[in-house]
C-alpha cells in the first residue's frame, strides 16, 4: 500500500496534465474544424475535473494495480463529445481531430524531457522532482502510443477510418462496439505490449533528437 501511495503521488500531476491536455486538444481541434459540440457542453476546457472519470481514471487503475501487483494497469478519461458529421469535411477532418490528442501528449513528453534535463543540469538532488519528471515522460509516451493503436474507438482507429477508402472505412467502423474489448484482450495477453514498446522507443528517440541541440549547448 505504501508503494501505491508513493506511485500515485509521483504520477498524479503528470497524469492529470496528460489527460486534460489530450482531451482539451480534441475539443479545440473539433471546434477549429467546425464542430462546436464539446464547446457548447463545456468540455473545451483545461479544467481537469471536466475530463477525469472517477471510475475510469481512478477506481479501475487503482483496482487493477492492487489485483495484479502492478503488472497490469489500464484507465481512461471521459471522451470529449464530437459530432463528426458537423466537421467541415468529416472524413478528412476526423483524422486531424483524432491526431490532436496524441500530438498534445507528444508535446508534453517533450516538455517533461526538457524539465528532466534542466533539473539535472541544475544539480537538483530532490528525488521526488526527478521521479515526477520521469513519470511525466512515461505517462505521455504511453498515452501517445496507446491512443495511436489502429483500433476503434482509439484515436489511431479514427485516423485509419479517415484514410481508408470509403467502402473499407465503413466495414472497419463496424468493429467499434467491440474495439475496447479487443484492446483489453490484447493487453491481457501482452501482445499489445510489443506495440507500446516499439512506438514509445521510436518516439523517445525522436524527442531526444529534437532536443539534442539544446543538450549540446548545455554540455
Condensed to tens digits (0 to 9), the pLDDT of residues 24-34 reads 999 999 999 99
Nearest-angstrom CA–CA distance, 9 and 80: 26
Q: How far apart are CA 76 and CA 18, in angstroms?
A: 11
- Indicate the DSSP class of residue 80: P
∠ Cα 46 47 48 (to 5°): 105
Q: What is the pLDDT of residues 102-153, one digit of tens each?
A: 999 999 999 999 999 989 888 888 888 899 999 899 889 988 998 999 999 8
d(Cα 183, Cα 148) in Å, to the nearest integer?
Answer: 12
Task: Report domain extents, the chain.
Answer: 2-218
* 45-70 residue pLDDT tens: 888 888 888 777 777 666 666 665 55
| Confidence (pTM) | 0.90
> What are the residue numbers of the active site?
23
Contact predicate 149/195, CB 8 Å: yes
Amino acid at each position: 500500500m505504501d508503494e501505491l501511495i508513493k506511485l500515485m503521488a509521483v504520477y498524479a500531476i503528470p497524469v492529470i496534465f496528460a489527460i486534460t491536455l489530450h482531451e482539451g486538444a480534441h475539443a479545440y481541434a473539433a471546434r477549429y474544424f467546425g464542430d462546436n459540440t464539446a464547446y457548447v457542453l463545456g468540455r473545451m476546457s483545461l479544467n481537469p475535473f471536466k475530463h477525469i472519470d472517477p471510475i475510469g481514471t481512478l477506481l479501475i487503475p487503482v483496482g487493477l494495480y492492487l489485483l495484479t501487483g502492478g503488472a497490469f494497469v489500464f484507465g481512461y478519461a471521459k471522451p470529449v463529445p464530437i459530432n463528426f458529421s458537423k466537421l467541415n469535411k468529416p472524413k478528412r477532418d476526423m483524422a486531424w481531430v483524432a491526431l490532436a490528442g496524441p500530438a498534445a501528449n507528444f508535446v508534453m513528453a517533450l516538455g517533461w524531457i526538457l524539465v528532466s534535463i534542466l533539473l539535472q543540469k541544475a544539480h537538483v538532488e530532490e528525488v521526488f522532482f526527478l521521479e515526477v519528471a520521469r513519470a511525466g515522460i512515461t505517462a505521455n509516451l504511453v498515452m501517445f502510443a496507446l491512443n495511436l493503436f489502429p483500433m476503434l474507438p482509439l484515436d489511431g482507429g479514427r485516423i485509419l477510418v479517415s484514410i481508408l477508402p470509403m467502402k473499407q472505412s465503413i466495414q472497419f467502423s463496424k468493429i467499434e462496439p467491440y474495439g475496447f474489448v479487443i484492446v483489453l484482450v490484447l493487453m491481457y495477453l501482452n501482445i499489445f505490449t510489443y506495440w507500446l514498446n516499439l512506438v514509445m522507443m521510436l518516439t523517445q528517440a525522436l524527442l531526444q533528437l529534437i532536443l539534442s541541440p539544446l543538450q549540446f549547448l548545455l554540455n
